[in-house]
Chains A and B, each alone.
Chain A
Amino acid sequence: MTDVLLQATQVSVRRDKRITLRPIDFAARAGETIGIYGPNGAGKSTLLLALAGLLPLESGTIALAGRVLGRDLAPLAYHRRIAAVFQQPLLLRGTVAHNVELGLALRGIERGERRARVLPLLEQLGIAHLADRGAGTLSGGEAQRTSLARALVLKPEVLYLDEPFAALDQPTRRRLVHELADLLRTQQIATVFVTHELMEASILCDRCLILDAGAVLQEGAPDEIVRQPRTSRVAEIVGSDCIGDGAGKSRVR
């Protein structure tokens, strides 16, 4: 078993004086994709932002490869080892190429080398022909591909995906999920994937966390959770008809 790459210990978040995330433990290994699944308002995005070091923590620690964020790992250094893609593409002014190069430019990488790194990824994601198009002229799917390319070109150790496909139409969505699954399989990136689509979770994720009201209800392989939800609430969230005791026995409601 490989070592844990990302380790969150008793992480909780308070927003506007209200606890939105109860203390949660979380661990991910290199190359592992972990889904965070739950209803609206469960705290999925909050957990993702907290893990990505983008929200102040109420308690707990986050460690990357054994180094604790804010203690022996500076936030900037941490952010230069991760990448994030949100539901909105959040592209900046400029061309597709400019956007995809941005993270590399921020790290002080020369223009020539940036181009060389960006091109293959644009081709992989099928947006090479858009390289010189303005970001404002793209369709939703093209923009989200650009956003994905911008994250993946950084070769992050941890990739955070916050419902990256939620704003896309069904066919585009299905295609991108499969393309992303292929990309993640070839690169050894630990991925945290927030979604409210069980289909996406089962395609992409090795493991899944069921989150409700800021707490983890169940953890396991996606199809295992569907087959054997531990409580009726989990069954309700994943939409399965049976509740199991987690030991293989299940009964039909």
Chain B
Amino acid sequence: MGVGSWDYWAEIGQGFIDAVLLLVTGDPETWGIIRQSLYISVSATVVSMMFGVPAGFWIAYSRFRGRGLLLAICNTGFGLPPVVVGLVLSILLLRHGPLGYFNLRFTPYAMMVGQFVLSMPIIVNLTVVALQQLDPKLRLQIKALGASRLQTLWLLSREIRLPLLVAYMAGFGAVVSEVGASQMLGGNLPGSTRVLTTAIVMETGMGHYDRAMAYGIVLLLLVAIVVGFLTWLQHGGARQ
């Protein structure tokens, strides 16, 4: 089959049609993988927000030794190589490793931990940036109104809710399309740790281009939704 030959394009075209069919007919295997992908990545990033946003407040508003270093680490976090995260966590999760007791390796939870680690720096960093854009006196004003620490956290979070949404989307977009750590920590087990990215790698390897393309389309759509939403926000779609 040479490049440009009729057979080649016919097969690819057929694959694409089959991919669309798999999606629209609600093929259980395909949709199971989509569901699992969303389940793992949404869980991981929600937990990331729960820890990352307060951590961002802490870094933005307290003065301590090593604060600059911590900020630098979070900036590095944008470029944290997923395979290295996968490697380090794999070692920690080994049966006799420090986290081996939990027996998480090759479970969706191990993947969540990996995606949590990968999305955390992004969320912390974007939270810090968002807080730095606020008028520094705003926090003092809120304190002077008699807000407790928790109330201050809540009120300031409301002020930066759009940047926080952007932070969430950025974190989600990064981990849902990540393959290295997911493959190493999850192992691509059908019905459990098989997600869009690991499935694409596997199906492509096995020559099942229709399935690989179906997953690719979904992944592209997910990322397109995220990016489209972020663009809409940035162009003042949420100016109120």
Write the residues of chain A forming the contact surface with B, with a CB cutoff of 8 angstroms.
Answer: 49, 52, 54, 76, 79-80, 82-84, 86, 88, 90, 92-93, 102-103, 106-107, 134, 136, 150, 154, 160
* A107 with B137: CB separation less than 8 A: no
- Cα A82 to Cα B140 in complex, Å, equals 13
B155 x A92 contact (CB < 8 A): yes
- C-alpha gap A92/B147 in the complex (Å): 13
B146 touches A90 (CB 8 A): no
Decide: B146 and A79 in contact? CB cutoff 8 A: yes
Chain A contacts for B143, CB-based, 8 A: 54, 79
Contact B138 A90 (CB under 8 A): yes
Q: Are B137 and A86 in contact (CB under 8 A)?
A: yes
- Spell out B's residues near A (CB within 8 Å): 135, 137-138, 140-148, 151, 155, 158-159, 240
CB distance from A200 to the nearest CB of B (A): 20
Contact partners of B158 in chain A: CB under 8 A: 92-93
Is the pair B240, A134 in contact by a Cβ cutoff of 8 Å? yes
Compute how far the CA of A90 lies from the CA of B141 in the bound complex, rounded to whole angstroms.
7
The secondary-structure label for the interface of chain B is: helix
Q: Which residues of A contact B148 (CB under 8 A)?
A: 76, 106
Shortest beta-carbon distance from B166 to chain A in Å = 16
CB-CB < 8 A to A92: which residues of B? Answer: 142, 155, 158-159
Chain B residues near A90 (CB, 8 Å)?
A: 135, 137-138, 141
**Do B144 and A106 touch across chains, with their CB atoms under 8 A apart?**
no
Say whether, besides A86-B137, A92-B158, A54 and B144 are in contact (CB < 8 Å). yes
Contacts known (A92-B158, A93-B159); A84 close to B141, Cβ less than 8 A: yes
Can you list 19 pairs linking A and B with CB atoms under 8 Å apart? A52-B144, A54-B140, A54-B144, A79-B143, A79-B144, A79-B147, A82-B144, A84-B140, A84-B141, A86-B137, A88-B137, A92-B142, A93-B159, A93-B240, A102-B145, A103-B146, A106-B145, A106-B147, A154-B145
Q: How many Å lie between the Cα of A52 and that of B142 in the bound state? A: 12
Contact A49 B140 (CB under 8 A): yes
A189 to chain B, nearest CB (A): 14
CB of A150 to closest CB in B, whole Å: 7
| Known pairs A92-B159, A134-B240, A136-B240; A80 contacts B146 (CB<8 A) | yes
How far, in whole Å, are A144 and B110 apart by their CA atoms in the complex?
53
Which residues of the other chain, B, contact A107 by a CB distance below 8 angstroms? 146
For the complex formed, measure the closest distance between the CB of B40 and the CB atoms of chain A, giving whole angstroms: 33
Cα A86 to Cα B144 in complex, Å, equals: 11
CB–CB B240/A83 < 8 A: no
Contact present for B145 and A150 (CB under 8 Å): yes
A37 → B minimal CB distance (Å): 21
Contacts of A49 in B (CB 8 A): 140
With CB as the reference atom, state the residue of chain B lying closest to A81: B146
Query: For A154, what are the chain B residues with a Cβ–Cβ distance below 8 Å?
Result: 145-146
Q: What are the 7 closest A-B residue pairs judged by CB atoms, nearest first?
A: A84-B144, A80-B146, A90-B141, A103-B145, A54-B140, A79-B146, A106-B147
Report the separation of the CA atoms of residues A39 and B136 in the bound assembly, to the nearest whole angstrom: 22
Q: Is the CB of A88 within 8 A of B135?
A: yes
Q: Is the CB of B135 within 8 A of A83?
A: no
Using known A-B contacts A49-B140, A106-B151, determine if residue A79 contacts B145 with beta carbons closer than 8 Å: yes
A154 to chain B, nearest CB (A): 7
Q: Which residues of B contact A160 (CB under 8 A)?
A: 144
Instruction: Give B232 Cβ to nearest chain A Cβ, in Å.
Output: 19
* Residue of B135, B141, B147 most packed against chain A (CB within 10 A): B141
Which residues from chain A contact B147 at a C-beta distance below 8 Å?
Answer: 79, 106
Shortest distance from the beta carbon of A94 to any chain B beta carbon, whole Å: 9
Min CB distance B142 to A, Å, is: 8
Docked Cα-Cα span, A93 to B135, in Å, equals 14
CB distance from B155 to the nearest CB of A (A): 6
Q: Which residues of B contact A103 (CB under 8 A)?
A: 145-146
Question: Looking across the interface, which residue of chain A has its beta carbon closest to that of B152?
Answer: A106
Nearest B-chain residue to A89, judged by Cβ: B141
Inter-chain CA distance A86–B148, complex, in Å, is 20
Q: Is A83 a contact of B159 with CB atoms below 8 Å?
A: no
